[in-house]
Amino acid sequence: MATVDPVDDRPPPLPWRRLSSLLRPIRGGLAAMMGLSTGGVLVGLVPPLALGLLVNALVDSGDTTEAAFLAGVITLAILTEAAAYVVSDGMATRNEGRLYRNLRLQMFEGARRRSSIDEDELSGLPSRFISDAETTGVTVSMLDRGSMLLVEFVSATVALGLLSPWTIPVVIPELGLTWLITRRMQQPAASAATRRQEELEQMTRSIARELDRRDDPQSTDRLVGPLDRVLTAEIRLGWLQAINLQGSGGLAKLGPIAAVIVAAFAGTSHVGTLIAVYLLAQRAFWGFDGLVDLSLSLQSVRGAIARCFELIDSTAPATEQPTRVPAAA
């Protein structure tokens, strides 16, 4: 049974094998979603490269015909990239909805198998079907955004290396520094996220309990305590997430500037080429920063996902056979 150790507040690792089994019924939609995301990223390489050529054509030779053609290419690439992302995002939402539906059915069957549930515990279970269950959407996000960001990072880094090789010895160490700084703060954020989910469940129980005693004038005062604990947990989680997200984001903004400076000192004098270096470096750092943020999201949902599987793994009475859960169509 997947449980959270009451002594060690660190949530258990993500059960990847079990999560993959939840994704198996929607694998067709996931494959189409990932294809559109990665295709949009590859098309997105065209504008920065074409813009560099456009600027060089205008500055070096004043060739307006070539510049007009390149402007059309850039416009078409941007529209194609946007269309791919729109369809991909729509499919991601559909995939997440089907995932939540299947998971909630399994959680419900697990709750039914419990031999006994006291009234206080029962009042808190519905929160797991909402806030906890929806954290599993990070698996769809990992496949959607993760594939997109990985391709964006790798493709932009390769293109940057081909365009200005001397930028790579500067870009790679800065990326490593970003990872080291943010990695150290992800474990506290994961523990804080688990604490928040636990306080939300306690709040749900308290609300149900106090509504049963709503004629008591002290019921509102008693509810203040659980609400304050949720507030404290949310504030702590918010600060830890802000340190991670904004710290890596700040380093990601510095990277493209450093790449342009290195390219200029290495002898690159064409304005268009320097613009292309900046835009490609920006895509590379945005991709890496997005992967770091996605890693934080994965760490933050470990406790909530463990609570979902804890409910699914509830022991059935000896006389009862588990019910087969129908998959989403």
Q: What does pLDDT average to in each consecutive run of 10 residues of the chain (329 residues)?
A: 49 81 88 91 90 86 85 93 91 89 85 69 71 80 85 89 86 80 71 80 80 78 86 86 73 81 83 87 85 77 80 63 49
Cα torsion angle, 299, 300, 306, 309, sign: negative
Q: What is the pLDDT of residue 35?
A: 92
Give the orientation angle of helix 137-163 with respect to helix 27-43, to 10 degrees: 30
Cα torsion angle, 52, 55, 59, 63, sign: positive
Name 53's Cβ contacts closer than 8 Å, sequence gap at least 6. 66, 70, 272, 276
3-state secondary structure of 304: helix
Instruction: Indicate the DSSP class of residue 20.
Output: H
What whole-number distance in Å separates Cα of residue 176 and Cα of residue 171?
Answer: 9
Q: What is the pLDDT of residue 3?
A: 46
CA 284 to each of CA 41, 84, 166, 252: distance values in angstroms, whole numbers, following the listed order: 11, 20, 15, 9
What whole-number distance in Å separates Cα of residue 90 and Cα of residue 100?
Answer: 16
CB 186 within 8 A of CB 294: no
Q: Residue 45 belongs to what H/E stretch?
A: none
Write down the residue that tokens 């198996």 correspond to. 24
Instruction: Indicate the DSSP class of residue 214.
Output: T
Q: Which CATH number fits domain 16-312: 2.120.10.30, 3.40.640.10, 3.20.20.140, 1.20.1560.10?
A: 1.20.1560.10
